[in-house]
Amino acid sequence: MVSESRHGGSKKRYRISKRANQLSPSGIRKFFDLLASIEGVISLGVGEPDYATPWHIIESAIESLEKGQTMYTSNSGMPELRQELARYLHGHYGLDYDPNTELLITVGVSEALDLAMRAIINPGDEVIMPDPHYVAYDSCVILAGGKVVTVPTYEDDNFEISAADIEMNLTGNTRAILIGYPANPTGAVMSREKTEELTDVARHHGVLVISDEIYAKLVYGVEHVCVAALPGMRENTVLLGGFSKAYAMTGWRIGYAAAPAEIIAAMTKIHQYTMMCAPTMAQVAALEALKSGEESAAEMVEDYNRRRLFMVKGLRDIGLPCFEPKGAFYAFPSIRITGMTSEDFAEALLTEEKVAAVPGSAFGECGEGYIRCCYATSMADIEEALARMKRFVSKHRKD
């Protein structure tokens, strides 16, 4: 449920840390408070699969619980899981990581991202990231004491971050480039060419790339380019991945980091004092997902692709220009024809037509003028949402 505490309200009774105060409250929280109070809302807001985890994965976790597999695991994760993960990364990308020193199992990619930032950032270090970006990226940098430097990305460039723009923003304090492709919120995928340009800049200037590849498996008709697999990048990349999106395992909270041993060692130290280890049953489930989840994942991807085509066509048909998302499960239509801000649009859409979408501005300045619509929801809901949005757009369009 939506948490009740909203930054203390008006009374300031407790002395909250500067660092916590520095984090901006999520701009979308109020929608979800509102959402919880309205009946019959169709939500295109939540970024998670609408499937339950495939049964064979759930079953493996239940079995482990029945057998009493309820203790801690090694800090870095079950050895079998790390070995299987090493095999997976080798099989998919030809990447060789030592399961004993170069892989860490984490509580979702969220934790892995936090650990990576805390492991490499000193006060004042700068981290470059695209705008718009996933809402946690800047917070993780700020929490680690770093400074966020955003590089605008545009629909005309397929929302790919440009190496030249990155280079322009490099300073002596630049520590890392943080990217996440396929991207949330745009659904953009980086082409091999653009990714290589980016990694050339990173390598040339000795800047690490933190690559959040949680949506790696969710690409439609294009390849996913793994940053760490590009020439010379294994030693220059912190690769973050997880199981939530491809195997419909969001609630299990399980992910991983793959990086050179020195970085993994630092991340593991923080992980061991804060998390101890990722939940054991979730690790068992992740092992099963890696071993035999490929087929269920592929089926879901096929299904998302149908909904993707349906959603994008539908949005364009009702007059909202929509960039073609080649990955993840988001459509990111422009709402400029209404003359409204993203936030006003999203709020009015919710109150007038009971459709929840996330204002693009929640993901950065370049997201203004767009809304994020997650199509990982039933076809019937997508269709109904589009019908309601059609009414809404024809009422509000200004062109």
Partner 1 sequence: MLNDILKILENDAQTTPKQLAEMTGMSQSEVTKLIRQALKDRTILKYKAIINWDQVEDEQVWALIEVKLTPQKDVGFDSVAERIYRFAQTRTVYLVSGTYDLFVLVVGKSNHEIADFVSQKLSHIEGVKETVTQFVLKRYKEDGEIIEGKEEVKRQPVIL
Residues lying near partner 1 in the complex (CB under 8 A) are found at 1-2, 26, 28-29, 32, 35-36, 43, 45-48, 50-52, 134-135, 184, 302, 306-307, 309-310, 313-314, 379, 383
Quote the least distance from Cβ 306 to partner 1, whole Å: 4
* Of residues 51 and 88, the one with the C-beta less far from partner 1: 51
Q: How far is CA 259 from the centre of its chain?
A: 19
| CB hemisphere CA count around 211 (13 angstroms) | 31
Tell me the two tokens of residue 175.
């520590």
Angle, in degrees to the nearest 10, between helices 261-274 and 108-120: 110
CB of 197 to partner 1, least distance (A): 29
Q: Of the two residues 175 and 217, which places its CB atom closer to partner 1 in the complex?
A: 217
Question: What's the length of the chain?
Answer: 399
Q: Which residue has the tokens 């203390």?
A: 8
Provide, rounded to whole angstroms, the least separation between the CB of residue 309 and partner 1. Answer: 5
How many angstroms separate the Cα of 185 from the Cα of each of 35, 39, 276, 372?
20, 26, 31, 6
Shorter beta-carbon distance to partner 1: residue 291 or 316: 316
Q: Is 147 left (phi over 0), alpha (psi -120 to 50) or beta?
A: beta
89/113 with CB nearer partner 1: 113
Q: CB 130 → partner 1: shortest distance, Å?
A: 17
> How far is Cα 375 from Cα 358, in angstroms, rounded to an integer?
12
Q: Which is nearer to partner 1, 234 or 326 (CB)?
A: 326
Which is closer to partner 1, CB of 139 or CB of 174? 139
From the CB of 36, what's the least distance to partner 1, in Å?
A: 6
What is the closest distance, in whole angstroms, from the C-beta atom of residue 324 to partner 1 in the complex?
11
244, 186, 247, 222: which is closest to 55 by C-alpha? 247
Alpha-carbon torsion, ordered 388, 394, 398, 399, to 10 deg:
120
Structure-block tokens of residue 319 = 């007059």
Tokens 């650990």 -> residue: 115
b (16+ CB within 10 A) / e for 307-318: bbebbbebbeeb
Minimum CB–partner distance for residue 34 and partner 1 (Å): 10
CB of 320 to partner 1, least distance (A): 15
The pairing of strands 126-131 and 174-179 is: parallel
SS3 293: coil
Which one, 201 or 358, has the nearer CB to partner 1?
A: 358
**Of 375 and 392, which CB lies nearer to partner 1 in the complex structure?**
375
Angle at 242 between CA 237 and CA 243, to 5 degrees: 155
